[in-house]
A and B are shown apart, each in its own frame.
Chain A
Amino acid sequence: MLKKSIAQILVGIDSNSVLSGARKIKTRIITEINKQGISDQVQVIETGSIGPINEGVVIGIYPSGEIYANMTEDVIEEFIRERFIKGRPYKKLLLSKKLSTGVDTTTYDSRKTQHYGRIVLENCGKINPEDIEEYIGADGYEALGTALEEKTPEGIIKTVKDSGLVGRGGAGFPTGLKWSFAKAAKESPKYIICNADEGEPGTFKDRLIMEGDPHKVLEGMAICGYAIGANTAYIYIRGEYQLSIQRLTKAIKDAEKLGLLGKNIFGTDFNFNVKIKIGAGSYVCGEETALLNSMEGLRGEPRLKPPFPAESGFLSKPTNVNNVETFANIAPIILNGSEWFKKVGTESTPGTKVYTILGHIKRPGLIEVPMGITLREIIYDYAGGMSSGKFKMAQIGGTAGDIFSSKLLDVPLEYQELQKLGHNLGSGAILIMNETVSIANFLTCCMKFFVHESCGKCSVCRIGTRQMYEAFKRLEKKEAYFDELETIKELAGELKLTAFCPLGQSVASPVLSALKYFGKELVQGVNPDKKHEPVTRENMNRGFKPLVYGNK
């Protein structure tokens, strides 16, 4: 709970701001407050990401709600004097007058969010993520208590089903249905895994959720454990996410101390233990079955489905795998009911979506918006418009995502509407690009990523991604074969149809959408006179070095 004092300074401590010296700034602010003799009126609180990134150290003032960015040590003395002694905004670094939903609330038209606040990021940037009391003060663990004391597992699954919540990791599978499969599985023990292996380039919303409000994720997992009958859970998290690991570890410990995790939760006979498993940084391990392999100490490669994890997952036992953001939605749904949840977002995809928005925009950062909002609204209402140049394209959902042209600026971003167009919402990254970006160059970069991250198990992805990369390199240099675009299209189509796992299949997304919307630009890379070289004696071993016999 927020402690009573006149004002609070919230210092956003996340992995980005730490690099900009957030901890030093925090210490300096405390020193300055003491020096100016106002320590009884102003309290300094550490919190998670306040939203903006690329803006240095960001702080918020509560209750007034201003956001200041790019704080440096040398302005702190002046800032404290201006803002708290003289009592006026420190205009030099003022980013926004009101701390709330979007990044830039000075320009945001709040009509779409008038009946709701944030769901997932409700506490982010407001409470101290390392203080469980503050989470409890913000109604934390109430949903778990209600669930354990008043609801049946079946009732919880029904509520989650009714809410229409779909997985926020990218595939958009109905969460309640997934849980019901795991519940129906006969074998025991059952496991819950929180997929925090956020590997999609440009996506870091899960990290900011875990850094800003770790207990909300834990609470969602515990409710899921009660619903499907699992007592052990793992958070599979990227090794790079040091701050998340640190805060989650502390959160687990604190919750165990208060009996909110561990044995006999809320005095019931429900036990729930959460452990952290650190991944080694392979993109494909975000795919749930490759994740299971990695957890078991095996090579990070996808497994055959069926059997699905709900039937045979971790250690061949029934396992429910959900994304961080999905779990963070659970407690609010249980607390407020499915009808409440359905008021936000669209009819087919209720709720909100957390995005990380980046690229050629004025205000890159973390936003939580209702499902169904359009790209145009994101760019102009939340991101402050283009930072330079004109909008050319956006990639929705990380490197495995579709490329949108300006034709799609007004399409509602939600699963069903996008599926109608053959597109996907993906992981939650939105990369916005202006006319300076060449499509061939951009796709070459995407393909390089896939070549690096393909696990090498199935032939189409292993060789296909590499050949795709080579083709785009040729296009970039305007040296592509006369039929290169047809070959690319065919290859992308086959990857989608035949690759073993979603990694290989999703290579098609950026490629096919780029061909659809930017075909004219790509054609410019083709040299119509360049024919395939027939395989002859002279070039049949093209690319091969002379044969070296013997050892090494």
Chain B
Amino acid sequence: MSVNIIINNMEVNVPRDTTILDAAKKIGIKIPTLCYLADLQNPGSCRMCIVEVEGAKALQPSCVTKVSEGMNIRTNTKKVRDARKIILELLLSDHPWECNTCDRNQSCELQKLADEYGINEVRFQSVRERMPLDESTPGIIRDPNKCILCRRCVSVCQDVQGVDTLAPRARGFDTIIAPGQGDMLSEAVCVQCGQCAAVCPVGAISEKDDIDKVWEAIDDPNKFVVVQTAPAIRAALGECFDLKPGALIKGKMTTALRRLGFDKVFDTNFTADLTIIEEGTELLTRLKKALVDKDKNVALPMFTSCSPGWVNYMESFYPELIPNVSTCKSPQQMFGAVAKTYYASKVDKKKEDIIVVSIMPCTAKKFECNRDEMNDSGVKDVDYVLTTRELGKFIKQAGIDFINLPDEEMDAPLGTSTGAADIFANTGGVMEAALRTAYEIVTGKELPFKGLHIAPIEGLKGVKEASLKIEGTTKEWRFLEGVTLDVAVAHGLGNAKKLIESIKSGEKSYHFIEIMACPGGCIGGGGQPRMTTDAIRQARINAIYKEDEGRKFRKSHDNPAIKEIYEEFLIKPLGEKSHHLLHTTYTNKKEPSPKK
């Protein structure tokens, strides 16, 4: 059912449950917002989006007020403008005047609104005392002084991720957004997913800036600096340069990285392919143990382990799943270990002289590279992680005209990859890539889905599932003949929780489960260009599939560089070298064992 309403004297017909904000957007009227988050429930608390509704005594928040038949709305009267101005003045009176030195200079939503509304004087004096910065974790930096208490971060931390770390504390003017436990994130259970940083309208939550450290490495003539880029970057970096979401810029990105001074431009995709070989073999081994050897100790379903936010979450909330999680390191960490061993010997460099820089859509990757387990090459496997946003700044700092760059190719061998690695970027992608390989190993035939895409596990539905009947197995894998492989995919930790609970209650059962901590997968990561909506997530996913489809090789086991590394170095999947370099262990953080 639809209703007829009038906005600023224009008649418009919209569906019944539309908010005034969305109805106005439909006819080209922009209403300013600060606490509003598309696709999520909204607190209606910043009051920026207030409008005049005929008959109502007070001004109404348009982001939460639903339209009703005959409603007469005015979005731009003096009353409304004056109210918005005073709200901005109040917010600015309680906000440090540090725009020039702020991480969000020129991308700050408050700064932008102050400009749009012509705030040339703030009549209210600041009465806030300076609070300490929270730099306690490797991934995230919080500056409570800049917080405008819009609570977007609280919504994503609680409602989307179900981690419940950030919450309002104290009341009135003293209210702050803080970890529920302790004053610093390190004292709380924070999985470092960075979704809070991705939605912050101001400079209150950001990733920790590591650009200067990378400059220093590049400037050091004794260091051989290699860079790896995660699959999700190529579909999002363009947004830092005002390109449309989903613009594919892999070639320009490669050129830019080379011009930044990296000695080799490699690809996390290479180790994504490697992950598939290792993880696929691990899955098949587990299945064999369970089905043929009738080993009751083998843990199924097996969970993926690529997402460090998910690994952190699992260690803190579901440590009983540790045996179920694949022992494979994430592609980023496999890359670091391989670069400082296999590649170092290939180019005759000492591991100490190689610096591995990662470009990641993710803040948890900054945490991951600092884990104690990630020194298997003998030194720190990955030295520095920059987010997509940081790379954007990095390129701008270097004076590179990104938009007009020519396309270049990545370097061999660690820059060689397949389409299966591309789709690691989005929800359902790791599962699809794994099945493309595993199915072919077992049956000798290609995965029986159109375009190699497993439609049921594509898209932005929170929890997705698929079943695959294995038929026509080769001799070695005959024990899997007729077995139906049940798989599930969840993205966003809130959805992961739902999925895990449905398994724990006995309602569901699967063999293999892919979990990505962020909504939409890595393309919606906490380090991606702001703001990410479902529409933007979908645009990035579409671009990734397009990239995959345009590839010569679309299955990880077809990657010639992967074949080469096994022949020359690793010998076989799950072999001794793999075990040492490519696999890891997890820690129970819920009930840590007492320190000795």
A64 within 8 A of B: no
Let me know if A456 and B87 touch, CB within 8 A. Answer: no
B125 within 8 A of A: yes
Let me know if B58 and A451 touch, CB within 8 A. Answer: no
Contacts of A467 in B (CB 8 A): 90, 93, 124, 127
A215 within 8 A of B: no
Q: How far apart are the CA atoms of A505 and B45 in the complex, in Å?
A: 14
Let me know if B172 and A470 touch, CB within 8 A. Answer: no
Let me know if A497 and B58 touch, CB within 8 A. Answer: yes
A552 within 8 A of B: yes
Contacts of B135 in A (CB 8 A): 549-551
Contacts of A373 in B (CB 8 A): none
Selecting from A145-153, A170-178, A265-273, A539-547, the interface stretch reads: A539-547
Closest CB-CB distance, B448 to chain A, in whole Å? 46
Q: How far apart are the CA atoms of A451 and B59 in the complex, in Å?
A: 22
A36 within 8 A of B: no
> Taking A549-B133, A550-B133 as contacts, is the C-beta distance between A282 and B183 under 8 angstroms?
no
* CB within 8 Å of A: which B153-172 residues: 167-168, 170-172
B8 within 8 A of A: no
Closest CB-CB distance, B139 to chain A, in whole Å? 15
Let me know if A545 and B129 touch, CB within 8 A. Answer: yes
* CB within 8 Å of B: which A473-519 residues: 481, 483, 487, 490-491, 494, 496-500, 505
> Taking A546-B130, A548-B130 as contacts, is the C-beta distance between A452 and B172 under 8 angstroms?
yes
Let me know if A455 and B124 touch, CB within 8 A. Answer: no
B251 within 8 A of A: no
Let me know if B46 and A463 touch, CB within 8 A. Answer: no
Chain B proximity mask over A115-138: 1 for CB below 8 Å, otherwise 0: 000000000000000000000000
Closest to A452 in B: B172
B86 within 8 A of A: yes
Let me know if B173 and A543 touch, CB within 8 A. Answer: no
Let me know if A459 and B91 touch, CB within 8 A. Answer: yes
Contacts of A498 in B (CB 8 A): 47, 50, 58-59, 83, 87
* CB within 8 Å of A: which B29-63 residues: 43-47, 50, 58-59
Contacts of A542 in B (CB 8 A): 125-126
> Taking A497-B59, A498-B47, A551-B135 as contacts, is the C-beta distance between A544 and B126 under 8 angstroms?
yes
Let me know if B46 and A454 touch, CB within 8 A. Answer: no
Let me know if A463 and B125 touch, CB within 8 A. Answer: no
Let me know if A459 and B148 touch, CB within 8 A. Answer: yes
* CB within 8 Å of B: which A431-477 residues: 451-460, 462-467, 470
Contacts of B145 in A (CB 8 A): 544
Q: How far apart are the CA atoms of A541 and B130 in the complex, in Å?
A: 10
Q: How far apart are the CA atoms of A306 and B133 in the complex, in Å?
A: 38
Closest to A534 in B: B121
A421 within 8 A of B: no
Q: How far apart are the CA atoms of A252 and B89 in the complex, in Å?
A: 52
Let me know if B86 and A466 touch, CB within 8 A. Answer: no
Let me know if B130 and A491 touch, CB within 8 A. Answer: no
Contacts of A530 in B (CB 8 A): none
Contacts of A75 in B (CB 8 A): none
Q: How far apart are the CA atoms of A282 and B175 in the complex, in Å?
A: 14
Q: How far apart are the CA atoms of A325 and B259 in the complex, in Å?
A: 77
* CB within 8 Å of A: which B164-215 residues: 167-168, 170-175, 183-184, 186
Q: How far apart are the CA atoms of A78 and B183 in the complex, in Å?
A: 64
A535 within 8 A of B: yes
B122 within 8 A of A: yes
Contacts of A112 in B (CB 8 A): none
B371 within 8 A of A: no
Contacts of A497 in B (CB 8 A): 50, 58-59, 79, 83
B454 within 8 A of A: no
Let me know if A459 and B47 touch, CB within 8 A. Answer: yes
B477 within 8 A of A: no
Let me know if A551 and B136 touch, CB within 8 A. Answer: yes
Let me know if A543 and B175 touch, CB within 8 A. Answer: no
Let me know if B47 and A500 touch, CB within 8 A. Answer: yes
Interface of B is mostly: loop
B450 within 8 A of A: no
B132 partner, pick from A453, A460, A551, beta carbons under 8 A: A551
* CB within 8 Å of B: which A89-105 residues: none
Q: How far apart are the CA atoms of A306 and B83 in the complex, in Å?
A: 22
* CB within 8 Å of A: which B111-162 residues: 121-130, 132-136, 145, 148-149
B64 within 8 A of A: yes
A343 within 8 A of B: no
B96 within 8 A of A: yes
Closest CB-CB distance, B121 to chain A, in whole Å? 7
Contacts of A549 in B (CB 8 A): 132-133, 135
Contacts of A551 in B (CB 8 A): 132, 134-136, 184, 186
Contacts of A540 in B (CB 8 A): 97
Closest CB-CB distance, B515 to chain A, in whole Å? 29
Chain A proximity mask over B77-119: 1 for CB below 8 Å, otherwise 0: 0010011001100110110111000000000000000000000
Closest CB-CB distance, A249 to chain B, in whole Å? 29
Closest CB-CB distance, A505 to chain B, in whole Å? 7
Q: How far apart are the CA atoms of A291 and B58 in the complex, in Å?
A: 22
B125 partner, pick from A470, A547, A552, beta carbons under 8 A: A470
* CB within 8 Å of A: which B428-466 residues: none
Closest CB-CB distance, B56 to chain A, in whole Å? 10
Contacts of A304 in B (CB 8 A): 43-44, 64
A458 partner, pick from B47, B59, B128, B130, beta carbons under 8 A: B47
A463 partner, pick from B59, B79, B93, B98, beta carbons under 8 A: B93
Q: How far apart are the CA atoms of A365 and B181 in the complex, in Å?
A: 46
Let me know if B87 and A541 touch, CB within 8 A. Answer: no
Q: How far apart are the CA atoms of A452 and B171 in the complex, in Å?
A: 8
Contacts of B97 in A (CB 8 A): 535, 540-541
Closest CB-CB distance, B135 to chain A, in whole Å? 7
Q: How far apart are the CA atoms of A496 and B47 in the complex, in Å?
A: 12
A88 within 8 A of B: no
Let me know if A552 and B90 touch, CB within 8 A. Answer: no
Contacts of A282 in B (CB 8 A): 171
Let me know if A494 and B83 touch, CB within 8 A. Answer: yes
Closest CB-CB distance, B263 to chain A, in whole Å? 33
A520 within 8 A of B: no
Contacts of B128 in A (CB 8 A): 543-544
Closest CB-CB distance, B35 to chain A, in whole Å? 8
Contacts of B133 in A (CB 8 A): 547-550
Let me know if A462 and B175 touch, CB within 8 A. Answer: yes
> Taking A549-B133, A551-B135 as contacts, is the C-beta distance between A465 and B86 under 8 angstroms?
no
Let me know if B122 and A535 touch, CB within 8 A. Answer: yes
Contacts of A544 in B (CB 8 A): 96, 126, 128-130, 145
Closest CB-CB distance, B473 to chain A, in whole Å? 52
A4 within 8 A of B: no
Selected A-B contacts with CB under 8 Å, 19 pairs: A451-B172, A453-B171, A456-B174, A459-B46, A460-B47, A464-B90, A465-B173, A467-B124, A483-B123, A490-B82, A494-B83, A498-B83, A499-B47, A535-B121, A541-B97, A542-B125, A547-B130, A551-B136, A551-B184
Other than A499-B58, A532-B123, A545-B130, give 7 A-B pairs with Cβ distance below 8 A.
A299-B168, A456-B175, A462-B173, A483-B123, A497-B50, A498-B59, A498-B87
Residue ranges of A at the interface with B (Cβ–Cβ < 8 Å): 282, 299-300, 304, 306, 451-460, 462-467, 470, 481, 483, 487, 490-491, 494, 496-500, 505, 532, 534-535, 540-552
